[in-house]
Chain A
């Protein structure tokens, strides 16, 4: 029996008015793979993540998560299929404590409703105890527990990035999408982040797909790379080969972010 790929994208095309942001994009990600997506600014990388997480509905093409099509699903339903993500610009809930940021992300599997919340029924109390405990334990694993009652904005920038990744992981996804996780980090934090992502990959049963500008981060982390430019796939394959590909060098030429 063959198991379905964690993520499969077939002939994905996305138009915004007259602009074709993505054209005919294809990918298959296996269980526990770590893949990368690179390309110059405005190439369409974030758009692909927005399509996968259900934030946009594709103009053409199909997306399957664990073999299930995502067409027509609202983002929270796509999340329920096993996708979680971070954002290029950090999108934590800043007027909520660090612990609550994790707890609210458990909404999809709360298992109690409005009247339970008012009546504080048994299922309410059990669920709240459980997610409180789990959220705290998860923060502990990532050494963020001492900030549990702080607001995210009080954390150093690097830790905010980390918290956003932890919040995504708390969804227990089978596919984790990281959109430029190293953006805005200094070199020390960047190495810390590379270690963190590798550690997550080794310890959790999760496929990771990363968008990143920093070539060195990608070379260290990913086994497979895909390069897009103006929505077209211009190269793909093992990281070392892709780096030497003339088309990639041209696309990046003059881009100081390499």
Chain B
């Protein structure tokens, strides 16, 4: 009985939680505002856990996460509108909009794949040198991506791109459920699950070997370039997925939403949670989303408060909330009740 509970408790909790949120959203028991905060929470969890893979687990310093998010957001937005919505530039939908519901996850994944390929292009030249190079090149990539889109008139340039609301509405017409809530939930759980599996495999442990001693890793048969590439692509791909979801939640994207300030937000989440701690990254994304909402009345002043918080954190708890430990390290007894594989 106990082992059965241990085996399925996580699935049970997740299905209950997902079902509950969906039901409450469907019955309109939670307001649109709360709902959008919950969805941003999911997006932030994906962003923070995926950047944590590179900056925490691998010990590199990537600073342009929002750039990859941007690629994912635009690719999945354009693809979705092109296929399923009537648009003044792209014309009539290419596929019967009734199918949007089934194609939606593929559209989001395509955005992720595009972001992963962008990540590959950024990672490749970074092997020649070490250290700060990745930081500089990711910031540069962030700027390049935004400038490119700002200058692409076809997709709205700096005014932005929309039409995704139509796609979301078609999904809801096909089958009356709060689809965005469901998709965000599924992709968030999927992201944490994938990272958890990656980190706990011997293959993925090569990442922390690189972080701890790259020379020893390479000499003890770890193909460090390959592992670094795959890891960076996974991280940027997940950022792309987060970007796609973000675009469809808001129904509108513009390059300005993915600037260096957004990248900084993600960095704050990673350092808040603790480097190399997956549960820390999840926790801090949740806290950070709530914090941002609380600080919203302060408007631009929040960008005084947030860095200040970071400085205070670095002073008193430089290792972040969780350090490099997981929830199950802090509460070993928890392991008896769940298994997350």
B183 at interface (Cβ–Cβ under 8 A)?
no
A85 at interface (Cβ–Cβ under 8 A)?
yes
Indicate with 1 or 0, residue by residue over A228-255, a CB within 8 angstroms of chain B CB atoms: 0000000000000000000000000000
B221 at interface (Cβ–Cβ under 8 A)?
yes
Chain B hits for A108, CB < 8 A:
221-223
Q: For chain A, give the interface size range.
A: 35 or more
A89-120, CB < 8 A from B: 91-96, 100, 103-110, 112-114, 116-118, 120
Chain A hits for B220, CB < 8 A:
79, 84, 104-105, 107, 167-168, 171
Contacts A76-B223, A118-B197 known; A93 to B216 CB distance under 8 Å?
yes
Indicate with 1 or 0, residue by residue over B199-237, a CB within 8 angstroms of chain A CB atoms: 001111110110011011111111111000010001000
Chain A hits for B206, CB < 8 A:
104, 107
Majority DSSP secondary structure for residues of B touching A: helix
A104 near B202 with CB under 8 A, answer: yes
A117 near B221 with CB under 8 A, answer: no
A207 at interface (Cβ–Cβ under 8 A)?
no
A93 near B222 with CB under 8 A, answer: no
Cα distance A93–B213 in the bound complex, in angstroms: 7
B341 at interface (Cβ–Cβ under 8 A)?
yes
> Nearest CB to that of B233 among chain A residues?
A114
Contacts A94-B212, A106-B202, A117-B204 known; A171 to B197 CB distance under 8 Å?
no
B194 at interface (Cβ–Cβ under 8 A)?
yes
A91 near B216 with CB under 8 A, answer: yes
B221 near A80 with CB under 8 A, answer: yes
A118 near B213 with CB under 8 A, answer: no
B324 at interface (Cβ–Cβ under 8 A)?
yes
Question: Chain B's nearest CB lies how many Å from the CB of A91?
Answer: 4
B198 at interface (Cβ–Cβ under 8 A)?
yes
Question: Chain A's nearest CB lies how many Å from the CB of B127?
Answer: 11
Contacts A76-B223, A96-B212 known; A104 to B205 CB distance under 8 Å?
yes
Indicate with 1 or 0, residue by residue over B297-324, a CB within 8 angstroms of chain A CB atoms: 0000000000000000000000000001
Question: Chain B's nearest CB lies how many Å from the CB of A75?
Answer: 5
Chain A hits for B209, CB < 8 A:
93, 96, 104
Enumerate chain B interface residues (CB-CB to A < 8 A).
194, 197-198, 201-206, 208-209, 212-213, 215-225, 230, 234, 324, 341
Enumerate chain A interface residues (CB-CB to B < 8 A).
53-55, 74-76, 79-80, 84-85, 87, 91-96, 100, 103-110, 112-114, 116-118, 120, 124, 127-128, 131, 167-168, 171
